Chains A and B, each alone.
Chain A
Amino acid sequence: MMLIRTLPALLLVLAMAARPANGSAQTPGPAADSALEAATRELASQIRCVQCQGLSIQDSPSELSKEMKQIIREQLAAGRTPEEVKAYFVARYGEWILLDPPARGLNLAVYILPILSLLGGAVVVVVLVRRWTRPLGDAGAPDAGAGP
């Protein structure tokens, strides 16, 4: 009984582990950490993991993410710019693959509206503070500003 229940799990474990542990030829050895790695990490944190809920491929532990990260590494090593690598992924997966919506067209709204709201609110705050510091019964006089 126990064996029957264990069997699927065991098979699963074996199937998962049968792949060479994360491509021994691909992962840098224990001590490597170069500018290429840093650039890869930077770019990988802007690309979305396809299977996960909103994580970047840098943060995702899934196999597919590891493979995508390897593609980034190879392309960067071959001399492509980050923009070109991003365009490569967008061509295959769509705009959705970028965690930062490209600042074009409708997407501009999500960048500009917050800033506008902050500025608009700042105006309101300034107006309110000036109104509150104006001396009583002295609507026309210059406001007291920062005090006597």
Chain B
Amino acid sequence: MTGAVGHTAVALALALSCYGVIAAAVAGRKGSAGRAWHASARGAAYAVFLMYAVATFTMVYALVAHDFSVKYVAQVGSRSTPLFFTVISLWGALEGSILFWGFVLALYTALVAYGGRRSKQADSQRTYATATLLAVNAFFSLLLVKPANPFAPEFPVPLDGPGPNPLLQNHPLMAVHPPLLYLGYVGLSVPFAFAVGALLAGREDEGWIRETRRWTLVAWGFLTLAIVAGMWWSYEVLGWGGYWAWDPVENASFMPWLTATAFLHSSMVEERRPGMLRLWNLCLVVATFLLTILGTFLTRSGVLLSVHAFTRGPIGYYFLGFIALALIFSLTLLAARADRLGRGQGRLDSAVSREAVFLVNNLILTAFTFTVLLGTLFPLVAEAVRGVKVSVGAPFFNRMTVPLCVALLFLVGVGPVLPWRGIQPGVAARSLLVPSVGGLAVALGSVLLLGVRDVYAVLAFGFAAFALLSNAREFVEGTRARRRATGESWSLALARLVRANRHRYGGYIAHVGVISIAIGISASSTFRQEREATVRPGEAVEIGPFAVRFERLWAREEPHRFVVGADLAVLADGEPAGRLDPRLNFYNTSDQAITTPAVRSRAGGDLYVNLLAFERDGSSATLHVIIEPLVPWIWIGGGIIGLGALIAAWPEGRRRRLIRAARRPGADEEGGDRPPAHEVASAVAHGAVS
């Protein structure tokens, strides 16, 4: 019964999205004359979302009720799995994850359609965007109806199921990482849809950027949080003390993030310099979308073995077909509209400008994406060409990308200081003096005081300090200038400054988050210490200032697994400093033990202990102990980036929009050509700051 309901809902979604594509396309062509068609297309989008809501709810119900007559439930359900993990097993395997994808996509589509409900003149761009999203919806609905049907009937009906993959049951972050990932990943379809919409509507102005940017920020923000949450999960669950292995699925989520980041920057250039980089920005958006579909293909088709790879089968061909179709469609559209894209009219006073910095930023991010893509796909290529299996693993990626990351870190410090259009190098040097001195001091300090020998680590620490100081300087100078004009207190001036320039300062906050992550990664790799030892009760493993003493082994039985743990006492410099209990979990349904490492987190770093093996009589345990300095700053940095994205994307109040429009017709919320902090004082004197 439940299976039939769910399957019907998805089939209806397929039909409705096909209809919606047609309705929206007609509406777009007719323009203002097609009001009814616009309404109909919107209705189709809402109806598709409703169908997906029904299907998703039905699946969750089937999972919780242990309805094993539904194929997906028979695949991942189990009576002994705790309720929490039963619910989140919705996205634990192939078909369920595609259903969830469809749900998130339908949600975004409905929101995009809803946003156009009040347009007086029918907005062709938005209509075509809705059509594009509905077309993508149709693809995923097709997948759910045919090759990846989670609602297929399972006969004979089993009494119990194997439960979700044990790796997915071990940590609550599994509730957080996939939804965030989907909100981000799927959300990147929206900028693509708007780009297509703008091209189809024959739009020649920069309006498409304005519409697209907020959606991109939202999706990018979620994707950032998702990637960091994934790193955190990997760190807390997989037991090797690392957080990034350049696994194909990690790369799949990272590549669209890189291109989206590039777009967030270069779109600012296009907005201020109409025509500049328009073709490039369109290509970036298309590439981002194609990378998300490619990423889904890589993880869902099992073509590259990975922790995440779910299954093989015909589904891979569907994805390849869709990618090919989307690529051909986008290229054709770009070529057809190439004449309307115009030539860049912008001029710079000097090469030392923010535009130039953003160009270099895009260059590095694009090269980065290309490197990761090449490395990820190369094993396939090599096997096809030479017939020999080849691995491209972490050492390769680290070697090729660390220099790029370090260069980006430098740009994070330089960009905020250089104004649009350019500045004399002498003036730039003056603004960068304090950050440069700070960066140099930190770099020297790391070599002389901390004994760092790796060139890239020294550069990373130096540039991190440099970038931190220069971004902080923007806040300080901006607040100071505002105080001079308004006499407000420091905190009030700062708050009002940020509120008046959400995009700019949200961006700087995101920069701080990136710097935090860079520091966390550099410190935890450069200063990492580890030790592995077999100890008897009472013996301790010594590492750095810590001694980890093994006291006893314990075991516990739970409905879905058997847990063995080690009771450890931690001493720091001889003083008691807490306890740790790393465990090994043996699930009924799997023959691989899943580790739960014990982590003692402090701002300065983590003490990480993994239980590798033990004697059954508790007479000894093998422990892997790692000191990871500054690792928490990676997770904190992720949160800071999310905060920055939130502030940047937050819509302005109506009052502020009206003030800005009155003062400067057509000005966008970023204030157009706002000069950098050191020129704000004179602008303030002329009442430009509200």
B-contacting residues of A (Cβ < 8 Å)? 5-6, 8-10, 12-14, 16-22, 24, 27-31, 33, 45-46, 48, 53-56, 59-61, 66, 94-101, 105-107, 109-111, 113-114, 117-118, 121-122, 124-125, 128-130, 132-133, 136, 144-148
CA distance A128 to B562 in the complex (A): 63
Q: Are A147 and B370 neighbours in the complex by a CB distance under 8 Å?
A: no
Known: A107-B390, A118-B363, A125-B360. A5 touches B350 (CB 8 A): no
The yes or no answer to B593 lying at the interface (CB within 8 A) is yes
Q: Are B375 and A55 neighbours in the complex by a CB distance under 8 Å?
A: no
Q: How many A-B residue pairs lie within 8 Å, measured between CB atoms? A: 200
The yes or no answer to B541 lying at the interface (CB within 8 A) is yes
List B contacts of A94 (CB < 8 A).
388-389
CA distance A53 to B307 in the complex (A): 6
CA distance A40 to B562 in the complex (A): 34
Query: From residue B542, how far is it (CB to closest CB) to chain A in Å?
Result: 6
Query: From residue B675, how far is it (CB to closest CB) to chain A in Å?
Result: 16
Q: Are A53 and B535 neighbours in the complex by a CB distance under 8 Å?
A: no
Q: Are B346 and A101 neighbours in the complex by a CB distance under 8 Å?
A: no
Q: Are B539 and A30 neighbours in the complex by a CB distance under 8 Å?
A: yes
Q: Are B533 and A28 neighbours in the complex by a CB distance under 8 Å?
A: yes
21 contacts between A and B (CB under 8 A): A10-B562, A12-B591, A17-B564, A21-B615, A21-B621, A22-B612, A22-B613, A27-B532, A30-B540, A33-B531, A45-B394, A56-B394, A61-B610, A95-B389, A100-B392, A106-B382, A107-B390, A118-B367, A125-B363, A128-B359, A132-B355
Of A10, A27, A29, A132, the residue contacting B348 (CB under 8 A) is: A132
List B contacts of A114 (CB < 8 A).
367, 370-371, 374, 400
Closest to A99 in B: B393
List A contacts of B555 (CB < 8 A).
13
List B contacts of A98 (CB < 8 A).
391
Known: A106-B382, A114-B371, A133-B422. A27 touches B533 (CB 8 A): yes
CA distance A147 to B400 in the complex (A): 35
Q: Are A117 and B425 neighbours in the complex by a CB distance under 8 Å?
A: no
**Segment from B242-250, B439-447, B501-509, B646-654 that makes contact with A:** B242-250
Q: Which of B386-415 contact A (CB under 8 A)?
A: 386, 388-396, 399-400
CA distance A130 to B246 in the complex (A): 37
List B contacts of A132 (CB < 8 A).
276, 344, 346-348, 355
Q: Which of B549-600 contact A (CB under 8 A)?
A: 555, 557, 561-562, 564, 586, 588, 591, 593, 595
List B contacts of A117 (CB < 8 A).
366-367, 370-371
Q: Are A30 and B541 neighbours in the complex by a CB distance under 8 Å?
A: yes
Known: A17-B614, A106-B382, A147-B425. A12 touches B586 (CB 8 A): yes
Closest to B547 in A: A30
Q: Are A61 and B624 neighbours in the complex by a CB distance under 8 Å?
A: yes
Q: Are B350 and A96 neighbours in the complex by a CB distance under 8 Å?
A: no
CA distance A117 to B557 in the complex (A): 56
The yes or no answer to B424 lying at the interface (CB within 8 A) is yes
Closest to A52 in B: B307
Q: Are B562 and A107 neighbours in the complex by a CB distance under 8 Å?
A: no
CA distance A22 to B615 in the complex (A): 9
Query: From residue B271, how far is it (CB to closest CB) to chain A in Å?
Result: 16
Query: From residue A24, how far is it (CB to closest CB) to chain B in Å?
Result: 5
List A contacts of B309 (CB < 8 A).
53
Give the interface SS of chain B, mostly helix, strand, loop or mixed: mixed
CA distance A103 to B404 in the complex (A): 21
CA distance A8 to B621 in the complex (A): 22
Q: Are A59 and B351 neighbours in the complex by a CB distance under 8 Å?
A: no
The yes or no answer to B349 lying at the interface (CB within 8 A) is yes
List B contacts of A28 (CB < 8 A).
532-533
Of A33, A99, A145, the residue contacting B394 (CB under 8 A) is: A99
The yes or no answer to B8 lying at the interface (CB within 8 A) is no
Q: Mark B122-159, 1 if CB is under 8 A from A, else 0.
A: 00000000000000000000000000000000000000
List A contacts of B557 (CB < 8 A).
6, 9
Closest to A16 in B: B593
Query: From residue A93, how far is it (CB to closest CB) to chain B in Å?
Result: 10
CA distance A24 to B392 in the complex (A): 34
List A contacts of B385 (CB < 8 A).
106
CA distance A100 to B390 in the complex (A): 9
CA distance A18 to B621 in the complex (A): 12
Q: Mark B36-71, 1 if CB is under 8 A from A, else 0.
A: 000000000000000000000000000000000000
The yes or no answer to B306 lying at the interface (CB within 8 A) is yes
What are the 8 A-B residue pairs with the smallest beta carbon separation, nearest first? A99-B393, A147-B350, A17-B616, A59-B240, A114-B371, A96-B389, A22-B622, A9-B562
Query: From residue B308, how far is it (CB to closest CB) to chain A in Å?
Result: 9
Known: A55-B245, A100-B393. A22 touches B616 (CB 8 A): no
Closest to A8 in B: B588
Query: From residue A4, how far is it (CB to closest CB) to chain B in Å?
Result: 11
Query: From residue A45, how far is it (CB to closest CB) to chain B in Å?
Result: 7
Closest to B611 in A: A61
The yes or no answer to B642 lying at the interface (CB within 8 A) is no
Of A59, A136, A148, the residue contacting B242 (CB under 8 A) is: A59
CA distance A121 to B616 in the complex (A): 60
Of A5, A10, A53, A97, the residue contacting B305 (CB under 8 A) is: A53
Query: From residue A136, how far is it (CB to closest CB) to chain B in Å?
Result: 6
CA distance A117 to B624 in the complex (A): 41
Query: From residue A118, how far is it (CB to closest CB) to chain B in Å?
Result: 4
Of A13, A54, A95, A136, the residue contacting B247 (CB under 8 A) is: A54
The yes or no answer to B2 lying at the interface (CB within 8 A) is no
Known: A95-B388, A146-B351. A121 touches B366 (CB 8 A): yes
Q: Are A113 and B374 neighbours in the complex by a CB distance under 8 Å?
A: yes
Known: A17-B616, A54-B245, A59-B242. A129 touches B542 (CB 8 A): no
Taking A53-B309, A98-B391 as known contacts, 5 extra A-B pairs with beta carbons closer than 8 A to each other, sorted by chain A number, are A9-B557, A30-B540, A61-B595, A147-B350, A147-B351
Q: Are A27 and B622 neighbours in the complex by a CB distance under 8 Å?
A: yes
The yes or no answer to B316 lying at the interface (CB within 8 A) is no
Q: Which of B234-265 contact A (CB under 8 A)?
A: 239-242, 245-248
Query: From residue B272, how far is it (CB to closest CB) to chain A in Å?
Result: 12
List B contacts of A46 (CB < 8 A).
395
